[in-house]
């Protein structure tokens, strides 16, 4: 569905993702409580979730201001649970996405309101919506959300066009992901654009597709 963004149809993918997210975090939190520990389920609230996800080894921070995961690219919704359950923990893991962003400006170019920076990571903030004191790509949230409001739907064009927005159950996409993490990244970026990935699918054509 995200191939159809921006559209009301693609909002279904967003809603479905958050619905699954809620069911998963609430179920796991209840399971932990049944073991006798404290567990508080949380989605996009209470603390900033992307840094935690990076710390947990789930992916890398992308220019578009979202987590880019190895398995699903930026096409994820994140949940978290605060708990005193004793746990082992993972560490940050890189697969090349952050470096790929250095040569790929596609999300910044395609964003209709230019809410995504096309330069180097910096300490620049746009409003109180950005955290301060971190050297990173910061999104202009007011421009972004203003666009959503203007069209009465959500957007996610940046997710649609991101070269990591692929179905990695296919071996050729896994091979391309590997190559994108090597010095071949500029070639892979060129190929991605050349082959037409990230183009919008009209909602009426989505309904005719299988699966
Ligand atoms: S969601 Fe749309 S408006 Fe917001 S940053 Fe992404 S492309 Fe730009
Ligand atoms: S579109 Fe390109 S620059 Fe933007 S997050 Fe994806 S890989 Fe990085």
CA 97: distance to chain centroid? 12
Q: Are 188 and 163 in contact (CB under 8 A)?
A: yes
Whether residue 101 has its Cβ less than 6 Å from ligand 2: yes
pLDDT, position 78 = 95
For ligand 2, atom 2, name the residue with the nearest CA: 104
**What are the start-end ranges of the H helices in the chain?**
8-34, 49-55, 97-103, 106-110, 141-150, 157-161, 171-180, 185-194, 203-206
Name the helix (H) or strand (E) containing 80: strand 80-83
Q: Decide if pLDDT at 76 tops 80.
A: yes
| pTM, two decimal places | 0.93
pLDDT, position 126 = 93
Ligand 2 centroid–CA 105 distance in Å is 6
Q: Decide if pLDDT at 211 tops 60.
A: no
Give me 141's structure tokens. 């949230």
Question: pLDDT band at residue 46, thresholds of 50, 70 and 90?
Answer: very high
Give me 181's structure tokens. 């993490």
Q: Decide if pLDDT at 130 tops 80.
A: yes
Ligand 2 centroid–CA 167 distance in Å is 16
Q: Are 4 and 10 in contact (CB under 8 A)?
A: yes
Question: pLDDT band at residue 210, thresholds of 50, 70 and 90?
Answer: low
């Amino acid at each position: 569905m995200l191939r159809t963004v921006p559209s009301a149809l693609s909002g279904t993918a967003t809603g479905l993702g958050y619905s699954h997210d809620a069911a998963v975090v609430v179920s796991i939190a209840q399971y932990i409580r049944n073991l006798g520990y404290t567990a508080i389920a949380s989605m996009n609230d209470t603390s900033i979730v992307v840094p935690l996800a990076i710390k947990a080894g789930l992916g890398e921070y992308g220019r578009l201001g979202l987590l880019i995961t190895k398995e699903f690219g930026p096409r994820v919704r994140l949940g978290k649970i605060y708990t005193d359950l004793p746990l082992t923990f993972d560490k940050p893991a890189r697969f090349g996405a952050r470096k790929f962003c250095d040569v790929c400006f596609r999300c910044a170019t395609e964003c209709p309101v230019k809410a995504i920076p096309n330069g180097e990571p910096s300490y620049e903030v746009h409003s109180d919506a950005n955290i301060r004191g971190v050297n990173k790509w910061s999104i202009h949230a007011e421009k972004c959300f203003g666009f959503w409001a203007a069209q009465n739907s959500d957007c996610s064009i940046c997710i649609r066009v991101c070269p990591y927005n692929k179905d990695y159950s296919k071996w050729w996409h896994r091979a391309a992901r590997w190559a994108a993490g090597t010095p071949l990244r500029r070639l892979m970026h060129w190929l991605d654009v050349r082959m037409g990935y990230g183009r919008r699918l009209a909602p009426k054509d989505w309904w005719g597709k299988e699966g």
